[in-house]
Amino acid sequence: MTDGSSNGSSKPGASTFTALSSHPQPVQTNATTFSNHIATDDSPELHFFATTGEGTVKIMNYPSFSIAHTLNAHTSSCMAVSLAPTGRYLAIGGSDALISLWDTTDWICRRTLSSENGGGIRGVSWSFDGRFICGAWDEPGCGGNGLEIFHAESGESVYTVPTTGTNASVPAVAWHPSRYWLAYSTTNDGPGSGGAGGLKIIGAGGGNL
């Protein structure tokens, strides 16, 4: 959308916005995100990332939506995408239960993260400093040992957050923007669970994992 001027028929101080023209895609788009750099005179366009159902991520210039790069990220559908706060890595989650980390300098995949949970990755979130990453799997029966937190540089699983229920799934996860706090939701779809679940927030004691 683009900024608009004040609308005389609206409340004082209200603004109107004009939607950009649509850009239909030939394949299903599952998730999108923007780059976090600031546009300058030398680099006026931002980047817009869109995952596809064919295992690729389209990197587009914004607002022109011209394609700058195409990443062949996963062997199956790409369902989640998130840019590290540092801007160094782009994390992509796939239905193949993997998270791939791509270097934004040369767009090379530096490492993949594999969880014991085995479910498709529906969401990925970075800690505020870009050191840690966590994925959410929205697939009943893939609760495994819990929600895994990985170190971005080494790819090691550094901590597991226990989740309840053998048929638990985690459809959403998000780090706090300035602390080592993690919020996630759970659903339990097994027999007798009644679809019970909820939102949970955990924090690392002393500010460290």
Q: Is the pLDDT of residue 136 over 80?
A: yes
Tokens of 137: 């799997």
Taking only the tens place, the pLDDT of each residue in 31-60 is 899 887 777 777 767 889 999 999 999 999
The mean pLDDT of 62-87, rounded to a whole number, is 91
Gap between the terminal Cα atoms of the chain: 39
Measured CA to CA, the distance from residue 193 to residue 168 in angstroms comes to: 10
The mean pLDDT of 120-142, rounded to a whole number, is 84
Sequence spans of domains, the chain: 77-207
Q: Is the pLDDT of residue 195 over 60?
A: no
Average pLDDT, the chain: 81
Nearest to 50 by CA among 81, 20, 27, 19: 81
The mean pLDDT of 155-183, rounded to a whole number, is 84
Which residue type sits at 68? A
Residue 141 confidence (pLDDT): 52
Q: Decide if 57 contacts 79 (C-beta within 8 A).
A: no
Q: Which distant-in-sequence residues (6+ apart) come within 8 Å of 120 by Cβ?
A: 77, 79, 93, 94, 95, 96, 97, 137, 138, 139
Superfamily of domain 77-207: YVTN repeat-like/Quinoprotein amine dehydrogenase (2.130.10.10)
